[in-house]
């Protein structure tokens, strides 16, 4: 005998873009009771993590660029690593 297990699949699992549109519409209407809070929190945490990583990467790139410019200026003045 074959047993079929019904899987409770949410809109979040089926169509992420439609899920986002639905959540946005619910928020705009103030329909907080119908919100998929668990997945909304997961998405917001993921977004915050990505934004934090992007900011850290940008800061690292800026620091590297500044260090390179400083090294170029020092070389132009005839100052090398052995002089520091």
Question: What is the chain's length?
Answer: 84
pLDDT digits (tens, 9 = 90+) for 37-82: 999 999 999 999 999 999 999 999 999 999 999 999 999 999 988 8
Check residue 4 and give its pLDDT: 54
Q: First and final CA of the chain: distance in angstroms?
A: 81
Strands annotated E in 1-84: none
Three-point CA angle 35, 41, 47, nearest 5°: 125
pTM of the model: 0.66
> What tokens appear for 28 in the block?
């705009």
């Amino acid at each position: 005998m074959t047993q079929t297990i019904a899987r409770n699949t949410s809109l979040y699992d089926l169509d992420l873009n439609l899920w986002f549109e639905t959540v946005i519409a619910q928020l705009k209407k103030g329909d907080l009771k119908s919100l998929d809070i668990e997945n909304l929190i997961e998405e917001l945490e993921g977004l915050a993590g990505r934004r934090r990583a992007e900011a850290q990467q940008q800061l690292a790139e800026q620091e590297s660029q500044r260090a390179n410019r400083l090294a170029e200026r020092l070389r132009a003045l005839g100052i090398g690593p052995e002089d520091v």
